[in-house]
């Protein structure tokens, strides 16, 4: 079973953080929640492997 | 008008019968018919004298139709039912997507038919009567006294109460099983805090025979709605009401009429469609089961053993598979062909099947009835993405429709002794295919059948009938079989074993394993 990558793997972390913040700027809490849910679903589909997604959930819950 | 079956005063108080079935619903009747066709005398007790009130279980899956075909009523059901393959899912005013339940050619039966439970039961009662089942109407079980070697039943009739002895008791008496209550057996599982209104509506409409499911439609804001076409221009509509709805107030005809009228108009039905209400009910549901289905000489089937939410048609179809699994085993035990331990495999095979149905229907219910803000947010995100993005559509859960259970972990299976291509492993239900002028499943024997592929001479052990099939046909393709392969099929038409090389002794050993004789 492949492992969730938890070492630095993001090519341009500052740009990704900035893109997330820009997307949420001016959104009400409910709309923000919608946006995050859509992002999680899009990225989970891109990952494809349910085991990786479950490892990420377990880590996030910790 | 519903049929009323003749009640006859009991003439045999105190008599001992080999098999008594409690409950004349679709599952009890199916078990009675299967056992009677295997030559067993069956007494069936039902508390009223008619069929189901309202449509109730309406979607009958291909596997159920194949079981009913084995019992001689498959074509009658197909002729009466509405065949459908297409489902559509809507959110708000928009269609998100449509799905096709595969109209794969080369099967006698379609993926699903819709047929009201009362029509199915009427056909079953007639078949049971012809098969010699002792049908006792207006016979309500009021006490159950289980012993190691049988059960004493106290039965209330219009002529007072009497007792019968059962060597084997089949409890198919539904979600409020009196047998279960008398034995004080707990359910494990959960209850959902939601209510649904269910309506049977008669109307003449050119609406296609499809399953339509709406999340939050304009005509029923905040809830979901499911629409199905049934036989005789009867339509089945389920409205999600929420936990706070008043079930009695919601059943008021004028209130239901207003809900149906709100649906009329494009794109569903012409605005001026006239309709009549046939039946209305409000239900809540549970996803739960008994810890065991066999309790000594008492065996639980259908809703008496396990309950699921209605999304996915897993209640009725699961119950039919219970009857299919149990009847041949009890017949083999009663004929002395197998030890009683064969009946423990009813638990070993049907409990995992029930768990599969409970899991699928719990997940559907969690999607249809979100439990907290996060669940609402994720569902809204999925529905919003699904309209334009194919990837999100498999996440939309409006019910995962019944699939036949494959008993792949069953102790009755003989494990493969060589690699096989993908196909049907031991424990899977036998696949149908064209065979000569008819269908493969019609050619299977009532006991064990060996499918023999290609021009292979094969000597069969006693109790096994050979069915020779071409090695290059659709059947060989579906079973992943080549010339020389042999596949052993059980009396309930599930696969017991398969070999590339075998002799009569190997086949006999698999048959004996399947009867718990080794």
Residue B504, burial from CB neighbour count under 10 angstroms (0-12, 13-18, 19+): middle
Are the beta carbons of B23 and B304 closer than 8 angstroms? yes
End-to-end CA gap in chain A: 21
Is B205:B267 a contact under the CB 8 Å cutoff?
no
Contacts for B413 with CB less than 8 Å, ≥ 6 apart: B407, B426, B427, B495, B496, B497
Q: What share of chain B is helix, strand, coil (3-state, %, to 5)?
A: 30, 30, 40
| C-alpha distance from B388 to closest chain A C-alpha (Å) | 13
Residue A41: predicted pLDDT: 98
What pLDDT score was predicted for residue B479? 96
Give residue B269's pLDDT.
75
Please, are residues B194 and B242 in contact by the beta-carbon 8 Å criterion? yes
Q: Give the model confidence (pLDDT) of A3-62 as tens digits.
A: 999 999 999 999 999 999 999 999 999 999 999 999 999 999 999 999 999 999 999 999
For testing contact with chain B, the best of A31, A34, A44, A53 (most B CBs within 10 A): A34
pLDDT at B128: 98
Superfamily of domain B196-284: D-Amino Acid Oxidase, subunit A, domain 2 (3.30.9.10)
What is the topology classification, in CATH, of domain B434-514?
Glutaredoxin (3.40.30)
CA B188 to chain A, closest CA, distance in angstroms equals 26
Domain ranges (residues) in chain B: 16-82+102-188+295-361, 196-284, 434-514
Return the biggest CA–CA distance within chain B.
70
Position of tokens 């060589």? B418
Query: CA of B393 to nearest chain A CA: how many angstroms apart?
Result: 11
Interface residue B248 vs chain A (CB under 8 A) = no
Per-residue pLDDT at B1: 82
CATH fourth-level superfamily of B16-82+102-188+295-361? FAD/NAD(P)-binding domain (3.50.50.60)
Query: Cβ of A30 under 8 Å from any chain B Cβ?
Result: yes
**Residues above pLDDT 70, as percent of chain B:** 100
Q: What is the pLDDT of residue B455?
A: 82
What DSSP designation does B176 have? T
Residues of chain B falling short of pLDDT 50: none
* Structure confidence by residue, pLDDT tens digits, B361-375: 999 999 999 999 999
Best of A35, A40, A41 to substitute, by most chain B Cβ atoms within 10 angstroms, is A41
> Does B100 contact chain A (CB < 8 Å)?
no
Residues constituting chain B: 518
Q: Confirm or reject contact between A37 and chain B (CB < 8 A).
A: yes
Three-state SS sequence of B1-14: CCCCCCCCCCCCCC
Residue environment code for B378-409, b if the CB has 16+ CB neighbours within 10 A, otherwise e: bbbbbbbbbeeeeebbebbbbbbbbbbbbbee
For chain B, the distance separating the N- and C-terminal CA atoms, rounded to the nearest angstrom, is: 53
Instruction: State the Cα–Cα distance between residues B220 and B203, nearest whole angstrom.
Output: 20
Backbone dihedral angles phi then psi of residue B85, each to the nearest 5 degrees: -130, -20
- Residue A54 to chain B, least CA–CA distance (Å): 16
Chain A interface includes B383 (CB < 8 A) = no
| All residues at 6 or more sequence positions from A4 whose CB lies less than 8 Å from its CB, including other chains | A52, A55, A56, A59
User: Order of strands across the sheet with B306-307?
Assistant: B187-191, B286-290, B306-307
For B9, B42, B138, B168, B510, the CA distances from B158, given in Å and listed in that order, are 8, 22, 7, 25, 50
Is any Cβ of chain A less than 8 angstroms from the Cβ of B375? no
DSSP secondary structure letter of residue B431: P
Q: How close, in Å, is residue A50 to chain B by CA atoms?
A: 13
- Provide the number of CB pairs (under 8 Å) joining chain A to chain B: 27
- Structure confidence at residue B423 (pLDDT): 80
Which of the residues B363, B372, B378, B393 would you substitute to probe the A interface, choosing the one with the greatest number of A C-beta atoms within 10 Å? B378
Q: Are B115 and B231 in contact (CB under 8 A)?
A: yes
- B279, B200 in Cβ contact below 8 A? yes
Q: Give me the pLDDT at residue B265, please.
A: 78
In this structure, are residues B319 and B299 in contact, taking their beta carbons and an 8 Å threshold? no
- Choose the closest CB to B385 out of A30, A36, A41: A41
How distant is the alpha carbon of residue B76 from its chain centre? 17
A19 contact B CB<8A = no
How high is the pLDDT of residue B50? 97
B380 CB neighbours in chain A (<8 A) are 34, 37
Q: Pairing state of beta strands B210-215 and B140-147?
A: unpaired
**Whose CA is closest to B172, among B280, B284, B283, B298?**
B298
Give the up-direction half-sphere exposure of residue B18: CA atoms within 13 A in the CB hemisphere.
14
Q: Which residues of A touch B385 (CB under 8 A)?
A: 38, 41-42
Contact A34 B377 (CB under 8 A): yes
CA distances from A46 to A50, B295, B347, B367, B390 (A): 11, 49, 40, 22, 13
What ipTM is given for this predicted complex? 0.96
């Amino acid at each position: 079973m492949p492992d969730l990558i938890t070492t630095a793997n993001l090519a341009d972390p500052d740009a990704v953080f900035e893109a997330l913040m820009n997307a949420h700027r001016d959104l009400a809490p409910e709309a923000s929640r919608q946006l995050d849910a859509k992002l999680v679903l899009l990225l989970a589909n891109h990952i494809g492997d349910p085991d990786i997604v479950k490892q990420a959930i377990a880590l996030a819950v910790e | 008008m519903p049929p009323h079956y003749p009640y006859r005063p009991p003439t045999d108080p105190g008599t001992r019968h080999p098999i008594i079935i409690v409950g004349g619903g679709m599952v009890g009747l199916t078990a009675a018919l299967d056992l009677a066709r295997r030559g067993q005398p069956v007494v069936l007790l039902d508390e009223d004298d008619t069929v189901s009130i309202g449509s109730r279980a309406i979607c009958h899956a291909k596997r159920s139709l194949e079981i009913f075909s084995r019992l001689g009523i498959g074509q009658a059901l197909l002729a009466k039912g509405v065949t459908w393959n297409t489902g559509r899912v809507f959110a708000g005013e928009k269609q998100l997507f449509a799905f096709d339940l595969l109209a794969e050619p080369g099967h006698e039966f379609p993926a699903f038919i819709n047929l009201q439970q009362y029509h199915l039961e009427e056909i079953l009662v007639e078949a049971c009567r012809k098969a010699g089942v002792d049908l006792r109407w207006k016979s309500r079980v009021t006490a159950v006294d289980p012993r190691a070697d049988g059960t004493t039943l106290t039965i209330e009739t219009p002529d007072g109460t009497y007792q019968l002895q059962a060597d084997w008791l089949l409890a198919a008496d539904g979600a409020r099983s009196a047998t279960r209550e008398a034995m004080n057996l707990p359910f494990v599982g959960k209850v959902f805090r939601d209510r649904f209104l269910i309506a049977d509506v008669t109307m003449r409409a050119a609406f296609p025979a499809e399953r339509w499911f709406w999340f939050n439609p304009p005509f029923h804001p905040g809830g979901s709605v499911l629409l199905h076409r049934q036989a005789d221009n009867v339509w089945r509509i389920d409205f999600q009401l929420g936990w706070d709805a008043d079930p009695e107030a919601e059943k008021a005809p004028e209130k239901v009429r207003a809900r149906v009228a709100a649906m009329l108009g494009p794109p569903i039905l012409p605005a001026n469609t006239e309709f009549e209400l046939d039946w209305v009910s409000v239900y809540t549901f549970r996803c739960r089961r008994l810890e065991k289905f066999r309790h000594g000489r008492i065996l639980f089937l259908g809703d008496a053993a396990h309950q699921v939410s209605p999304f996915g048609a897993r209640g009725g179809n699961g119950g039919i598979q219970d009857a299919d699994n149990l009847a041949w085993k009890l017949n083999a035990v009663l004929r002395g062909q197998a030890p009683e331990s064969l009946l423990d495999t009813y638990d070993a095979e049907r409990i995992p099947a029930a768990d599969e149905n409970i899991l699928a229907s719990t997940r559907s219910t969690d999607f249809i009835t979100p439990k907290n803000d996060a669940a609402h947010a994720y569902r809204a995100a999925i529905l919003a993405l699904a309209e334009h993005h194919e990837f999100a559509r498999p996440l939309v859960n409006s019910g995962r429709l019944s699939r036949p259970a494959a008993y792949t972990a069953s102790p009755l299976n003989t494990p493969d002794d060589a690699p096989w291509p993908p196909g049907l492993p031991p424990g899977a239900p036998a696949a149908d295919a064209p065979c000569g002028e008819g269908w493969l499943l019609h050619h299977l024997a009532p006991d064990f059948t060996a499918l023999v592929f290609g021009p292979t001479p094969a000597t069969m052990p006693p109790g096994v009938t050979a069915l020779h099939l071409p090695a290059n046909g659709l059947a060989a393709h579906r079973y992943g079989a080549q010339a020389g392969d042999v596949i052993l099929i059980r009396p309930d038409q599930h696969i017991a074993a398969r070999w590339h090389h075998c002799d009569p002794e190997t086949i006999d050993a698999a048959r004996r394993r399947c009867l718990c004789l080794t």
